[in-house]
């Protein structure tokens, strides 16, 4: 398994088939899946097969990554980047077990993933999509410094499109450092 990045509280790495039960725990929860436009996972075996056949790490060099909570060494969700050919953009996406909501995990892991995307992968623009009802995700995207760019139809969802360019990211982080 490849380690991607880390924060004080979190380790972000590629998923392995050993993570299937953990992935199933959050991806089968209707409340977690509420705003995703995807159906909940049906079984641990289905998840294991999806992880086994996940092409993004091979084909793109990035994807949705496991987020491990260091305090309990537990996979608590995912955060990562995914190329969406439907709209020709790289999307920042995250999903976590409910008991970890409201603890700053989405913001913390997203900052680390954005850093990786802009610094290591040299991406020019990363977007975030959120349906208007998903106020928690919209708040995270705002805290990350993304700017609202309008509505976007993607995978059957009418979602708000937020974006952050490397130039905006560099400017924001240089301002913090100074």
129 and 137 Cβ atoms separated by less than 8 Å: no
Find residue 148's DSSP bridge partners: 162
Q: 3-177, which class in CATH?
A: alpha beta
Which residues, 6+ apart, have CB-to-CB distance to 117 below 8 Å? 62, 81, 90, 92, 123, 126
Per residue in 122-147, pLDDT tens?
Answer: 999 999 999 999 999 999 999 999 99
Q: What is the pLDDT of residue 156?
A: 80
3-state secondary structure of 138: helix
Tokens of 120: 């290591």
> Average of pLDDT values for 2-16?
98
Q: What is the pLDDT of residue 155?
A: 73
E-assigned strand segments in the chain: 3-6, 10-13, 64-69, 74-84, 89-96, 125-130, 147-154, 157-165
The mean predicted confidence, pLDDT, of the chain is 95
Per residue in 66-123, pLDDT tens?
Answer: 999 999 999 999 999 999 999 999 999 999 999 999 999 999 999 999 999 999 999 9
pLDDT value at 52 more than 80: yes
Q: What is the pLDDT of residue 68?
A: 98
> Average of pLDDT values for 22-46?
95
Tokens of 108: 């913390």
Q: What is the pLDDT of residue 177?
A: 55
């Amino acid at each position: 398994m490849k380690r991607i990045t880390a924060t004080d509280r979190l380790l972000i790495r590629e998923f392995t088939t050993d993570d299937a039960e953990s992935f199933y725990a959050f991806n089968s929860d209707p409340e977690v899946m509420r705003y995703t436009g995807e159906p909940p996972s049906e079984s641990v075996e289905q998840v294991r097969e999806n992880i086994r056949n996940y092409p993004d790490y091979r084909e793109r060099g990035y994807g949705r990554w496991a987020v491990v909570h260091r305090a309990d060494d537990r996979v608590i969700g995912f955060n990562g980047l995914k190329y969406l050919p439907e709209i020709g953009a790289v999307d920042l996406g995250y999903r976590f077990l409910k008991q970890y909501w409201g603890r700053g995990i989405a913001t913390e892991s997203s900052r680390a993933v954005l850093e990786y995307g802009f610094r290591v992968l040299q991406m020019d623009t990363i977007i975030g999509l959120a349906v208007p009802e998903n106020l928690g995700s919209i708040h995270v995207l705002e805290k990350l410094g993304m700017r609202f760019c309008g509505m976007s139809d993607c995978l059957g969802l009418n979602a708000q499109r937020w974006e952050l360019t490397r130039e905006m990211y560099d400017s924001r982080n240089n301002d913090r450092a100074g």
